[in-house]
Structure 1
Amino acid sequence: MNAPDLSLSRLIAAQPPLEKLVIACVLAESQRVGAQPLIRGLGPASFSMLCATCLAGLELDNGTAPAPVFDEFDELFELLVEHAAPLDQMSLWLAAAIATAAQRDNHLWQDMGLPSRRELNAILRLRFPGLAVLNVGDMKWKKFFYRQLCQSAGVPICKSPTCGVCVDHAECFGPEH
């Protein structure tokens, strides 16, 4: 009787890619909070293809809802797409999923339904490396994204000229629980 092959490389190879796991987590969290649509910015054909690709044939209804009067979904989606590598369908889906989750109220990794910030860091480094590398101080991701958006719009958002001397440093760079 042969023992099963439990080598690390075989176990890793048997796991779905991180991208698919992140998409599945975002969809599950969107369902849990009753979000409509589950992932914004995707037409019916694209959402159907996402389900076929990431959910092993499980079909979901993305739903529809009017966009809020004001949020930053479009701007954040574009920021992510600008830094996507490769710029392929999966990166577009991930950008939409991240931008959707970022409109919620908790830490981004929580709003995405991820178990910890580690997975968020990993997907950003994997699919949006040019953006991830800019977060040199390990700022909380939502704060970092919005800081990037404000800087590109020429809107000053910080109370201090540098983060190191800001009274809110712990809020931006502290632990995420």
Structure 2
Amino acid sequence: MNAPELLLIDPIPQSGMPMDALDLLVIRCGLAASQRVGARPLVRGLGPEAFAAMCAACVPGEALENGAAERPVFDEFEELFELLMEHAAPLDQTGIWLSAVIATAAQRDNHLWQDMGLPSRRELSSILRQRFPTIAALNTGDMKWKKFFYRQLCQRAGVPICKSPNCTDCVDHSVCFGPEL
């Protein structure tokens, strides 16, 4: 899909499930990490209204501009965003925001929890189990999350040999590409 504007999501009614501390932590850390690396947009896949609603709910009083990409981006954002939204439980505003934040961060070069600005892998695993339980349950071997998501995308596409995410500069290359337990 070459038209990112087709993915722009505007708010849908809340399911009644309040945002908890972990939801807020993940979204706030994701926004901060995007700001730190100078990403534009800060969070992909959200229309202006959805981005404004997310900021109002998660970082009230902060005047954040989402911005736009300077040139077309060819990566797996759209596919991962769709995969996460399919597994969001519930698929409410928060689920959409989390899907966008996670899929945005997954396009960077480090471990996903690092790309999201989270304190450790534990918080990422917790949010995935809490908000995306069906896909989290498929990671039975505790594979690194970014690698796991790319494998899921390859399976969906029917690709038998799956290229891993860009990991060439990662300091933990040998850990990720060693045997999974």
Alignment correspondent of 2:21: 17
Amino acid of the structure 1 residue aligned with 2:61: G
Residue 176 (structure 2) aligned to one of 167, 171, 176: 171
CA distance in 2, matches of 1:115, 1:86: 25
CA distance in 2, matches of 1:34, 1:77: 21
Which residues of structure 2 form unaligned runs of 5+? 1-19, 164-172
Query: TM-score, length-normalised on structure 2?
Result: 0.78
Call closer, same or farther: CA 1:90–1:150 in 2, change over 3 Å: same
Q: CA RMSD in A?
A: 2.2
Alignment correspondent of 1:162: none
Q: Deviation digits for residues 100-148 of structure 1, max 9, x if unmatched? A: 0000000000000001000000000110000000000000001100000
Query: TM-score, length-normalised on structure 1?
Result: 0.80
Residue 93 (structure 2) aligned to one of 60, 71, 89: 89
Is contact 1:138-1:173 (8 Å) kept?
Answer: no
Call closer, same or farther: CA 1:171–1:88 in 2, change over 3 Å: same
What is the aligned-residue identity percentage?
A: 70
List aligned pairs for 1:24-173, cutoff 5 A: 24-66=28-70, 68-157=72-161, 170-172=175-177
Is contact 1:139-1:173 (8 Å) kept?
Answer: no
Q: Deviation digits for residues 145-171 of structure 1, max 9, x if unmatched? A: 000000011101269xxxxxxxx9953
Call closer, same or farther: CA 1:61–1:148 in 2, change over 3 Å: same
Which residues of structure 1 form unaligned runs of 5+? 1-15, 160-167
- What is the aligned residue count? 152
Call closer, same or farther: CA 1:58–1:131 in 2, change over 3 Å: same
Q: Please identify, of 55-64 and 76-85, the stretch whose mean Cα deviation from structure 2 is larger.
A: 55-64
Note the C-alpha offset of 1:174.
Answer: 7.0
Give the number of the structure whose alpha-carbon radius of gyration is greater: 1
